[in-house]
A = this chain, B = another copy of it.
Amino acid sequence: MNFPSKLIEEAVSEVAKLPGIGKKSALRIVLHMLKRPEKDVQSLATALVAVRTKTQYCKQCHNISDDELCGVCLSTKRDRSILCVVQDSRDVLAIENTGQFNGLYHVLGGIISPLEGISPSDLNIESLLSRLQSNTEVKEIILALSPTMEGDTTSFYLQKKLKPFGVKTSTIARGIPIGGDLEYADEITLGRSIVSRINYD
């Protein structure tokens, strides 16, 4: 594209680096900026820089946090006997929004992926193990990773590492999504949903 202005071109190329945003959407966003009051643009810019420079990760669970320990880890209302291991902070948010889990989290910061060069040592696995060593309260660990090749590999690796601690481990149920259509379910999911069927009584 031939941009009419160097400034536009620079801004578009910066915005187009964001995930899920191509050149056309970037241009749309930049032209939208031109129409907004200057203080709106300033506050967007400030919020982005602030989030990058000031956000920390919880020392205990590695979730995003404004302070040394996150709100979940600090809360006195959470069940400290159950830990949910997730890939990243987005998953914590997603699970928190279900309102179905009241334990603590442990954010791995990724999953094992030889293709992307992510090995177990790149993840917060050591800190999970030392968390268990120093804390005998934990009775159950839920491995809430995506049911993909990488997620399953990571779950398998963690199961082996967690065995010596003698805590119960579990994983989230795989099955037909609620509202999903049997006809369109893939055969592996459908097969699993029959094998792990739920009794009515």
The interface residues of chain B lying within 8 Å CB-to-CB of A8 are: 51, 55, 64
Docked-complex contact A66 and B20, CB < 8 angstroms: no
- Complex Cα distance, B41 from A123, in Å, reads 24
Please list 13 pairs of residues, one from A and one from B, whose beta carbons are closer than 8 Å in the complex, sorted by A's number.
A2-B93, A2-B97, A4-B65, A5-B55, A5-B66, A7-B54, A10-B50, A15-B44, A15-B48, A17-B44, A20-B25, A33-B48, A34-B51
The interface residues of chain B lying within 8 Å CB-to-CB of A4 are: 63-65, 70-72, 89, 92-93
- Complex Cα distance, B11 from A53, in Å, reads 12
Which residues of A are interface residues toward B (Cβ below 8 A)?
A: 1-8, 10-11, 14-15, 17-21, 25, 27-34, 36, 38, 40-55, 63-66, 70-72, 88-90, 92-93, 96-97
The interface residues of chain B lying within 8 Å CB-to-CB of A72 are: 4
The interface residues of chain B lying within 8 Å CB-to-CB of A27 are: 90, 93
A50: contacting residue among B7, B20, B29, B89, CB under 8 A:
B7
The interface residues of chain B lying within 8 Å CB-to-CB of A41 are: 48-49, 52-53
A64-B96 in contact given A4-B72, A29-B18 (Cβ < 8 Å): no
The interface residues of chain B lying within 8 Å CB-to-CB of A14 are: 43-44, 47-48
The interface residues of chain B lying within 8 Å CB-to-CB of A6 are: 66
Docked-complex contact B49 and A1, CB < 8 angstroms: no
The interface residues of chain B lying within 8 Å CB-to-CB of A50 are: 7, 10-11
The interface residues of chain B lying within 8 Å CB-to-CB of A31 are: 64, 88-90
Docked-complex contact B65 and A11, CB < 8 angstroms: no
